[in-house]
Structure formats: C-alpha cells, structure tokens
Amino acid sequence: MSSDKKISSAVIRRLPRYYRYLGEIKESGIQRISSNELSNRMKVTASQIRQDLNNFGGFGQQGYGYNVEYLYEEIGKILGIDKTHSMVIVGAGNLGQAIVNSEDFAKRGFIIRGVFDNNKELDGRKIGEHQIMMSDRLPQFIKDENIEILAITVPKDAAREVARVAVEAGIKAIWNFAHTDINVPDNIVVENVHLSESLMRLSYNMANHANQ
C-alpha cells in the first residue's frame, strides 16, 4: 500500500509538528480551524499548510476550514501512529534509560519490548520494568518477538555492528543516536539523532545572531 507520488521529505519533516499543534488545539476544545488561524499559531504560511495537507488528500471544506479532531486523526494515520510499533533499545546507558523511562513514546504507540547491553555487570538489572538482556540475545529476540524498530544508544564504535546484526535478524527501522552514519540496505529506514551536531548548529547560530 505504498503511495503513488513521492512526498518530499520537507513535508514529512513538518507533519509531526502539525500533529502536535492539532493535538493541543483539540485538547483546548476547539473543533474547527482554518489554515489561516493555524498559520498564525504555527508561524508558517497558510499556503504551505494547505499545500502540505493536499499531498495526502482534501481534509478540509471550503468556507469552513478543517475539523480539528478529524485532521488530527488523519495525520496520525499518515504518520503510522494509529498502530503500535515494537521497539528494542540497545545500550542501557543514561540515554537508553531516558528513552525507556519516558512515557512519551509509549503514548504514541512505540512499545519498548526489550533493553540490551553488552556490559555483563548490567545483566539482569532492571530499568523500569525491563530486565537488561545481553546483546548476544538480540537477533533471536528480534525474530521471536517481531521487533520492528531498533534504537541504538551505544557508543559509535559499537553502533555499526549492532545495526548489522539487527538488520540480519530482520529489523525494519533504526533510530540511531550514535555519532556515526550507519550503512544499511535501502529497504531499512534510518532516522538519525545526532545531538552533538544539533549543539554545533546552535553554536553557529549563536555566533551569527541568527533567529531560529
């Protein structure tokens, strides 16, 4: 059920933000909103909002605007968070723990099914309700439990090997926090979170007085 036309990544980058705003607008009890009003809140052009949404179909109604709840639901579907996704974390350091202990991801349907590390001292220790497993059990676990997403929070030197093993075991997507690019086959999705690069951009902007 792949889409016909290729949606630009610039649009995809904006979708979660629409989703977040619409969620908040919905919570505040507002039932309909025009692209113009949404544009005021989000500081993007109304034109861009209408263009972006129309990549996926006509969600609005002339003379009325958009039904907030409906649009929120539809964007959720587009993002694939109307279903749950199974995830494992490899790397039980601070960052791994932060992800495990956060409620935000489970709330969006990303269910953590296992936490792995290769430090033997951590074997069996608990993070939240998860008992840390040794990394050599990772491939079998991915297969047995049908894990879709691998979050990599190990140091960069270990990251590629973890990715390789997981890909071989049939993982579908990798959420990579290690400071390295990982090379995987084209059909595997990789989403990078490079915190130190983010901080360098901040540093650049600070030196150059730029606006956000």
Partner DNA sequence: TAGATTGTTAATCGATTAACAATC
CB 161 within 8 Å of CB 138: no
CA dihedral 130, 103, 193, 134 (to 10 degrees): 0
Sole binder of a copy of itself in the list 17, 125, 143, 164 (CB under 8 A): 17
**Using the rule CB under 8 A, is 30 a contact of a copy of itself?**
no
Report the residue from 19, 22, 26, 50 that binds DNA according to the rule CB under 7 A. 50
CA 180 vs CA 101, 126, 161, 187, 205: distances in Å: 25, 28, 12, 19, 23
Our finding on whether 56 is near DNA (CB under 7 A) is: no
Residue pointed to by tokens 């650049």: 204
Report whether 54 belongs to an annotated binding site: no
Interface with DNA (CB under 7 A), residue from 61, 119, 146, 205: 61
35-42 and 46-54 helices cross at what angle (nearest 10)?
A: 110
DSSP string, 52-81: HHHTT---EETTTEEEHHHHHHHHHHHHTT
Host H or E run for residue 207: helix 195-207
Q: State the binding partner of 53 from a copy of itself, DNA, none, CB within 5 to 8 A by kind.
A: DNA
Q: Which does 193 bind (CB under 5 to 8 A by kind): a copy of itself, DNA, none?
A: a copy of itself
Q: Does 53 bind DNA (CB under 7 A)?
A: yes
Residue ranges binding a copy of itself (CB under 8 A): 2-3, 7, 12-13, 15-17, 19-20, 78-81, 85, 93-95, 97-99, 101-102, 104-105, 108, 110, 148-149, 172-173, 175, 179-180, 186-187, 189-212
Residue ranges at the known binding site for NAD(+)? 91-96
